Amino acid sequence: MGAIAQSLAMVSGLILLGMILFLLKESLPLLNQISPWQFLFHPHWQPLNGEYGVLALLIGSLLVTLGSVLLAVPLALASALFCNDYAPSWLANIHRRALQLLAGVPSVVFGFWGLVTLVPLINQWQPPGASLLAGSLILALMILPTIALVADSAIAQVPLNYRHTASSLGLGRWATLRGAVLPSAQSGILAGIVLGAGRAIGETMAVLMVSGNVVQIPESLFDSMRTLTANIALEMAYATDSHRGALFVSGLLLSLIITGFMTLVAIARHQEVSPHGR
Amino acid sequence: MSDRPTPTPRRLQFKPFSSLWVRLLTGAVLGGLVGCAPSNRHETLVVTGSSTVAPLAGEMGQRHESQQADVQVDVQSGGSSRGIADVRSGMADIGMISRDLTPEEQDLTTHVIAQDGITVIVHESNPITSLTDREIVGIYAGEIENWQEVGGEDAPIVVVNKADGRATLDVFLDYFRLESRQIQADIVIGDNTQGLKTVAGNPHAIGYISIGTAQAAVDHGEAILLLPINGIAPSPENVANGTFPLGRSLSLMTSDSPSESVQAFIDFAQSDAVHDLIEAQNLVPVP
């Protein structure tokens, strides 16, 4: 059994390596033409005119991710605390099941719901509706269960004697949570947030449907914008030569960002395991 | 504080390698091998390209399959340019295209299967019933930004445009003599469905779309209104008699020497036997 597990693990490692090599191979022709610096900071994305600057797309991706994290984190924390400290266990279980169900909804369903319900709503308030705000809201819904469930288990792992000590000092429930439980679950919660952010920045279909996809740096929450992922999905079908290369470089860039996020998760996890090893 | 238990790393170990898993895996692999055998007798025609042609080609494919049991027709949409790329690379046997070939694309052969037009659509509640060509150009170039300027209510115009590389965009730009970079879009969409839903959900939006797709959507109760182009109503009749100005051909395309079964499907798609399918999609059969 051990040998099978080992060889399967090696296969998945090799597949990952192969994908990175493929991305690099497809990216190189373009990177030989323009420098990575130009690719990152050139102000225009006009592939039909040979201008490949991903700045607006990169900022779009980062803003929509930031927006979704800001919206999802308070809700996720509230939900995790609710499950651990406020709800009776049967209700907490129902709540967890509901979150798991939410986590399992395909992204295209979120996107379609956003397109036919959320975007028209925002449009009544501030046209055109398809906007940074719509993208952030949909993504927040999608990453909420991830962050909530990870935070939930991080809080559940806080040793009971912390709570006991705190209440023997006469601290109330909220003071205990704020002063003892949340700080010691901090790294686990952070890991959940970064995990959620990683999912948000890599999400494609849902943001493609609700965020408007105009290549520009949004000046307000109600401006239309395009993410790196939506750009790849919209243009890969007809991209050729250096345009195709540019899309692969965007893919490489995204992989780098997500790898960065995952490294942060690993660091947070490590600190969780050895809180005094800093 | 030093007695804080470390979470057990055990939960990270991957150990459900019971014999059940092995059996499932082996079964899947063997099943896959066995599954390959009968597919040698069947032939699969891969058809990719224009999302405007795809629903029609899909219907034609199903009827073709019901008559030729040994041929399977696999239709995937993704835009005319994808169709061209796939036929050239051999990924697809047949491409679908909803515009004319450019001079650089003359290595391919097109087989027209239906005629279609592109028309401008607005939300059903919009009081506008027609726009001149000049007004449409003004709206898309960002010179006209409020519906009031063209006789509508006082509301900003939400301009819905197709993503670069889509055939509908090319035909639209071509007719209105616009450049892609001149267009000041508020929303950029990928495929037809997304465009329909965007305009149907936005009382101040304007978009453009295949007449066939738009008419089918209206029949299904979508809240959109089709506008005439240059005063000519966007009807299948006007597309058929050539008076509708924004007309285009929907075609299948192949490389130089199509195989026997590919040719058979193209002949079928161009025959009278599929005219009802074409008309059901509000498209116009080729005479």
For residue A159, what is the nearest residue in chain B, using CA coordinates?
B4
| Cα of B27 vs its chain's centroid, Å | 38
**Chain A positions in Cβ-Cβ contact with residue B3 (cut-off 8 Å):** 159, 161
Q: Tell me, what's the pLDDT at A269?
A: 73
Q: A276 in contact with B at a CB cutoff of 8 Å?
A: yes
Q: Do B155 and A224 touch (CB under 8 A)?
A: no
Residues of B with CB under 8 A from a CB of A: 2-7, 9, 14, 17, 22, 78-82, 85, 155-156, 158, 163-166, 180-181, 185-190, 194, 197-198, 200-205
CB pairs A-B closer than 8 Å: 101
Q: Which of A49, A119, A215 sits opposite B201 (nearest CB)?
A: A119
A contacts of B200 (beta carbons < 8 Å): 116
Pick from B71, B61, B98: nearest CA to B82: B98
Which residues of chain B have a pLDDT value below 70? 1-41
* Contact yes or no for A213 and B181 at CB 8 A: no
Q: Is the ipTM of this complex over 0.85?
A: no
pLDDT in tens, A187-212: 889 989 998 999 999 999 999 999 99
Whether residue B186 and residue A127 make contact (CB cut-off 8 A), yes or no, is yes
Residue B270, both tokens: 């161009």
pLDDT tens string A93-129: 999 999 999 999 998 899 999 999 999 899 888 878 8
* Amino acid in the structure at residue A266: A
Q: Do A213 and B204 touch (CB under 8 A)?
A: no
Distance separating alpha carbons of residues B117 and B129, to the nearest angstrom: 18
pLDDT of the residue at B10: 39
pLDDT tens string, chain A, 278 residues long: the values are 788 889 999 999 999 899 889 988 888 888 888 888 888 888 888 887 788 889 999 999 999 999 999 999 999 999 999 999 899 999 999 999 999 999 999 988 999 999 999 998 998 888 788 899 999 999 999 999 999 999 999 999 999 888 889 889 988 888 888 888 999 898 889 989 998 999 999 999 999 999 999 999 999 999 999 999 999 988 887 777 788 888 999 999 998 898 888 888 888 777 765 554 33
Residues in A touching B164 (Cβ below 8 Å): 47-48, 235, 238
Strand segments, DSSP code E, in chain B are 43-49, 71-77, 94-97, 109-123, 158-162, 187-189, 205-210, 224-227, 247-254, 284-285
The alpha-carbon gap from B241 to the nearest alpha carbon of chain A, in Å, equals 32
Unique residue bearing structure tokens 């997304």: B194
Chain B CB contacts of A275 below 8 Å: 4
Of A4, A130, A234, the CB nearest to B190: A234
Mean pLDDT of chain A: 89
DSSP SS3 for B148 = helix
pLDDT for position B80: 84
B chain contacts of residue A276, beta-carbon cutoff 8 Å: 2
Kindly determine whether residue B186 and residue A128, on different chains, have CB atoms separated by under 8 Å: yes
For residue A48, give how far its alpha carbon lies from the nearest alpha carbon of chain B (Å): 8
Rounded to the nearest angstrom, the gap between the alpha carbon of residue A77 and the centroid of all alpha carbons in its chain is 16
Q: Please tell me the predicted confidence (pLDDT) of residue A80.
A: 94
pLDDT at A27: 87
In b/e form, how buried is each residue of B243-282, taking b as 16+ CB within 10 angstroms?
A: ebebbbbbbbbbbeebeebbebbbebbbeeebeebbeebb
Q: Judging by DSSP bridges, how do beta strands B205-210 and B109-123 pair with one another?
A: antiparallel
Given a contact cutoff of 8 angstroms between Cβ atoms, the answer to whether A198 and A258 are in contact is yes
Tokens of A228: 């790196």
In DSSP notation, A82-135 reads: IIIIIS-HHHHHHHHHHHHHHHHS-HHHHHHHIIIIIHHHHHHHSTT--SHHHH
Residue A128's nearest CA partner among B197, B123, B185 is: B185
Beta-carbon separation of B22 and A4 below 8 A: yes
Residue B32 structure tokens: 């896959």
- DSSP bridge partners of B74: B46
Name which of B155, B187, B190 is nearest A130 (Cβ-Cβ).
Answer: B187
CB-based contact B202 A127, cutoff 8 Å: yes
Give the CA-trace dihedral at A167, A168, A170, A172, to 10 degrees: 10
Whether residue B205 and residue A213 make contact (CB cut-off 8 A), yes or no, is no
Residue type at A110? Answer: F
CB contact under 8 A, A224 and B188: yes
